[in-house]
Structure 1
Amino acid sequence: MEQSNKSILLVDGMALLFRAFYATAVSNYFMINSKGIPTNGIHGFVKHLFTAIEHFNPSHVVCCWDMGSKTFRTEEFSEYKANRAEAPIELVPQFDLVKDVVDSFDIPNIGLKGYEADDCIGTLAREYSVDHKVIILTGDQDIFQLINQNVSVAIVRKGFGNYDLYNPERLLEEKGITPAQMIDLKALMGDPSDNYPGVKGIGEKTAIKLLLEFGTIEGILDNLSKLTKSQQKKIEDSLEMLHLSHRLARIHCEVPIECSLDQAEYKVNKERALSTFRELEFKGLDRLLG
């Protein structure tokens, strides 16, 4: 089948919003407008969004969002992400407003209660990448598990327009493992930011070594006798948590959401976008619209 010339940019909205908010919040610069609404996170988000669109030149753009903190993962493990602090008061009003802003650019907002943005991104990436190239814009390496020959991940670095682009070859070269093994890696070493422990006492280095030798968690469990006594004990003591961590780490790619390519086609209405900038009292973003 001939490769399509379409390319879809899937944006992890919350990752960009949080990054933009905290970049200026450290100096208490919240950009409170004349209506008393803080807009620093949205301003930075918009800058990130249009900078990425200019850089990657996609034909289609979709923005995915978390829809509250309760998901199927918190139902399975109540401690999941329980270490996260409440959102700062200046960020709270920006959660809904940023979606209105994205909507004014005619870019679809996709999210579903009970699932994380990652799950929506995974579902759409799987669907679109059958025939098209997909780039996922995020700050989160958890998404590496979605990489394939048609799906690459752009990790946003400090500043604007700085991206680390990962495809299967880059991931293998840098981490030594495949996208599918990223799930096993997280299950073994746990994830402090998501607040699940994996196997206590096994870090990234040991986890990668075991995966290189035995391929998967199943492979490791089938060959427990070949591990050191210390490794055996650690895994046997954490067996239940290992399986739970594996379920928590896997991005769910069958979320019941829909977003046709027609809906996602990137064709921003410049006048409508400029009107949004005026309403929010944004300065210096007009040039990003080209």
Structure 2
Amino acid sequence: METLNKLVMLLDGSSLIYRAFYAMPRFTSSQGKPTGAVLGFGNMLLRLIEDFNPFSLITTFDHPQKTFRHQLAEEYKAQRKPMPDELIPQIQFVKDLILSFGLKWIEMPGFEGDDLIGSLRHKIPEQFTIAMVSSDLDLLQLVNDKTILLQPVKGVTQLKKIDKKTMEDHYGITPQQVVDFIALTGDPSDNIPGLPGIGEKTALDLLKRYHNWQGILNHFDELPLRIQKAIQDHAQQIELSLQLATIIDTIPIEINFQAWNFQRVQWKSLFALLDELDLVKFKERMMKKRKEIHQSSLPLFTNNQ
């Protein structure tokens, strides 16, 4: 992808930390601090910078408190296991790593990182394109002509690009239909119930024919009897699932988008963090990077007199 420095990347920090945690070995420092997720996230961050040369990167996180979705449905995400003990302290280390890179991270009580990504899009000037980076396919509802999703498919460094055309050609769905699709099929990872007896194929067929949930209701009499029965019994549940699956994009976020480059890295705090966590090889990579930057900034001719 040619960026010409006109790309803003929005990282789903919570999703990517989990992915890094399970993709990396259970590394620990000499003091017993877990470090695998930090290293995995750092590798991913550096890879994104080197491969895409973005104008800026911002990372969002789920707030540890319950969100408005839990108020709508107590069972929302209730089936999820607690965060692994080894991952808990690494969240703050990753946030410190982001800051030491001279980048920003955001979280907000009552909302998830996806909601912040949805709202941040409206703060980005129109001349920029946007790349969301996440394993969470719920974000596909935000894809448009200037917004794509980069989905990690192998570890934390190999990414799959999904744009509007990819969605329509390979998934048979438009961004506007993602929420309806989730509501119809359910999302076990978030404990969002779907319409009983409706699988992905049937949901896609219904959306292709009737466009969305309201369109399905408007043509209720045309539906097979089993689907009519499911809707009669569970329509209210689907209405709730639509609310749970919809990403909020109206959160008032005050943020200034500033151009980023390696000159913004806080090298002293970065190296102190990497020393604390014994991330020796990653520190060596960053020292090499700093040397390259320093050499490239030297004048072509120097006065030796």
Instruction: Give the match for residue 285 of structure 2.
Output: 287
Residues 1:111 and 1:249: Cα distance change in structure 2 (over 3 Å): same
Instruction: Give the match for residue 12 of structure 1.
Output: 12
Which of residues 224, 231, 237 is equivalent to 2:233?
A: 237
**Paired residues for 1:232-271 under 5 Å:** 232-262=228-258, 265-267=260-262, 268-269=264-265, 271=267
Q: Which has more radius of gyration?
A: 2
Partners in 2 of 1:76 and 1:65 — Cα distance?
Answer: 21
* Kept in 2: contact 1:129–1:150 (CA 8 A): no
Runs (5+) with no aligned partner, structure 2: 290-305
**Paired residues for 1:184-195 under 5 Å:** 184-195=180-191
Partners in 2 of 1:56 and 1:220 — Cα distance?
Answer: 41
Partners in 2 of 1:51 and 1:63 — Cα distance?
Answer: 15
Normalising by structure 2, we get a TM-score of 0.88
Instruction: Give the match for residue 168 of structure 1.
Output: 164
1:89 alignment partner, SS class: coil
Aligned residues: 283
Give the deviation of 1:61 after TM superposition: 0.6
Q: Percent identity?
A: 36
2:271 aligned with 1:274 = yes
The amino acid that maps onto 1:18 is: Y
The amino acid that maps onto 1:49 is: L
Instruction: Give the match for residue 64 of structure 2.
Output: 68
Runs (5+) with no aligned partner, structure 1: none
Which of residues 129, 143, 147 is equivalent to 2:143?
A: 147
CA RMSD of the aligned region, Å? 1.8
The amino acid that maps onto 1:11 is: L
1:153-174 deviation digits (Å, cap 9, x = unpaired): 0001113431110111111111
Instruction: Give the match for residue 303 of structure 2.
Output: none
**Paired residues for 1:28-177 under 5 Å:** 29-128=25-124, 130-177=126-173
1:42-86 deviation digits (Å, cap 9, x = unpaired): 111111111122122211010110111500001110000000001
2:64 alignment partner, SS class: coil
Partners in 2 of 1:179 and 1:167 — Cα distance?
Answer: 9
Partners in 1 of 2:132 and 2:145 — Cα distance?
Answer: 13
Partners in 2 of 1:130 and 1:248 — Cα distance?
Answer: 29
* Kept in 1: contact 2:185–2:194 (CA 8 A): yes
Give the deviation of 1:180 after TM superposition: 0.9
* Kept in 1: contact 2:19–2:155 (CA 8 A): no
Partners in 2 of 1:36 and 1:161 — Cα distance?
Answer: 26
Normalising by structure 1, we get a TM-score of 0.92
* Kept in 1: contact 2:5–2:54 (CA 8 A): no
1:66-125 deviation digits (Å, cap 9, x = unpaired): 111500001110000000001111111112221112111111011101100000011112
1:157 alignment partner, SS class: strand
The amino acid that maps onto 1:7 is: L
* Kept in 1: contact 2:12–2:134 (CA 8 A): yes
